[in-house]
Structure 1
Amino acid sequence: MISTNNYFDGNVKSLGYTTKAGKSTLGVMNAGDYEFGTSTHETMIVIEGEMNVKLPGASEWTIYKAGETYQIEANTTFQVKVSEQTSYLCQYK
């Protein structure tokens, strides 16, 4: 089954699916500033574009470009800024 997710008034959209490796979402963010909360560990892979990310507990922002990955622990929040449409794969553990 494929699920559809819409966040931030439709500015972030993703398709959710499950494989033998676990649950994932494949999505796109419009330009904007976002704060996300996690309930499980997440591995975020930037597919196209770039994300400026402030991870939990970090004092600095870090830019992740296409092909780069970052991880977020469960039950935390993190901030993301994108300046153009950016696609991602998020894997949940």
Structure 2
Amino acid sequence: MSEQFNFVSIKKKANIHFNGSSISHVLILKDGSKKTLGVILPSEHPLTFKTHLEERIEIISGTCAVQIGAATEISTYSSGGSFIIPPNTEFTIQSDEVVDYVCHFE
């Protein structure tokens, strides 16, 4: 896992969701692909997101509990782990610590 992205453009305006519990910035790589780099702050309740494209969420630091789509199971992901969310799918994420992540749009 690379520790940095080289030769990127960054959108200045942050994406802020759930009253600041999720904050990210869009990165545009040299090849035109997009990623978001962000943090999920600790929360008492799961945060629910909906994808438009397939997304692979790479956890950089922290641990989180994730439920994808209609699945009843909740999986835990930690630093170095990742999970894939299909297009047009809701997922929930929750943590009691700060989680740094990269979202790769596949």
TM superposition score category, shorter chain reference: over 0.9
Q: In structure 2, what is the equivalent of residue 14 of structure 1? A: 24
Paired residues, what number?
93
* CA pair 68-24 structure 1, distance change in 2 beyond 3 A: same
One-letter amino acid of the structure 1 residue matched with residue 102 of structure 2: L
Residues 1:2 and 2:15 are matched in the alignment: no
Name the SS of the counterpart of 1:57 in structure 2.
Answer: coil
Work out the CA distance in 2 between the residues paired with 1:89 and 1:82: 16
- Match for residue 44 of structure 1 among 57, 63, 67: 57
Which consecutive aligned stretches of 4+ in structure 1 deviate over 4 angstroms post-superposition? none
Identity %: 29
Q: Offset of 1:51 from its aligned partner? A: 1.1
Work out the CA distance in 1 between the residues paired with 2:50 and 2:10: 22
RMSD of Structure 2 on Structure 1 (CA)? 1.2
Give the number of the structure with larger relative contact order, counting CA–CA contacts within 8 Å between residues 6 or more apart. 1
Q: In structure 1, what is the equivalent of residue 92 of structure 2? A: 79
Query: After superposition, what is the alpha-carbon deviation per residue over 1:23-63, rounded to whole angstroms, capped at 9, x for unaligned?
Result: 10010011112001001110000000011001113111000
Residues 1:55 and 2:68 are matched in the alignment: yes
Decide which structure has greater strand share: 1
Work out the CA distance in 1 between the residues paired with 2:17 and 2:50: 12
Work out the CA distance in 2 between the residues paired with 1:84 and 1:52: 11
Max Rg structure: 2
Work out the CA distance in 2 between the residues paired with 1:13 and 1:67: 20
TM-score normalised by structure 1 residue count: 0.93
- Match for residue 34 of structure 2 among 19, 23, 37: 23
